[in-house]
Amino acid sequence: MDRASDYGSEGWGFEFLRARFFYIVMDDHTLWMRFALQEARKARDKNEVPIGAVVVHEGRIIGRGHNLVETLQDPTAHAEMLAITSAANSLASWRLDDTILYVTLEPCSMCAGAILLARIPTIIFGATDPRYGACGSAVQIANTDSLDIHANIIHGILEPECKKILQDFFAEIRQRGD
């Protein structure tokens, strides 16, 4: 009898482990997206469009960011850009190989380009952006055959919460008449 048979149909077979691994990975995505939502709430509290991002490396957050476009009067101060800069500083390298970017809204063209140039291999976002999304909604920059750099894309993680914070923010602005 070989050691592999010890993991047969008694509950530790391949299908069981694969199902458990998928659950753990999806649960981790949810956990990290909750941190991105915390960043989005920081933006909202500053009257910024509530988008948040975190960069994860080896099971820890190495970069955080939330929109600061209005605060800094800087059109490049998107959550993703700030999180990427923070992560690069944390690793003392512009190459963010082996990291994952979690962001509450699908990245725009500028951010998708920066993600690729930073060599971030995986983008995970909550809500799609049909107007400006560059990960498949409006355009596809992050994973296209026309570029030699690609990122894997996973979307829909905590999508209802990611949409709601944006919808509530813009409803409040319309109500105030801003």
Active site residues: 80
Tokens for 175? Answer: 């109500």
Burial class of 165 by CB neighbour count within 10 A (0 to 12, 13 to 18, 19+): buried
| Chain mean position to CA 52 | 8
Using the Cα atoms of residue 61, residue 67, residue 71 and residue 77 in order, give the sign of their dihedral.
Answer: positive
Whether the CB-CB separation of 56 and 32 falls below 8 Å is answered with: yes
Of 89, 148, 79, the C-alpha closest to 116 is 148
Burial class of 14 by CB neighbour count within 10 A (0 to 12, 13 to 18, 19+): exposed
Q: What φ, ψ does residue 177 adopt, rounded to 5°?
A: 85, 20
Tokens for 52? Answer: 């948040």
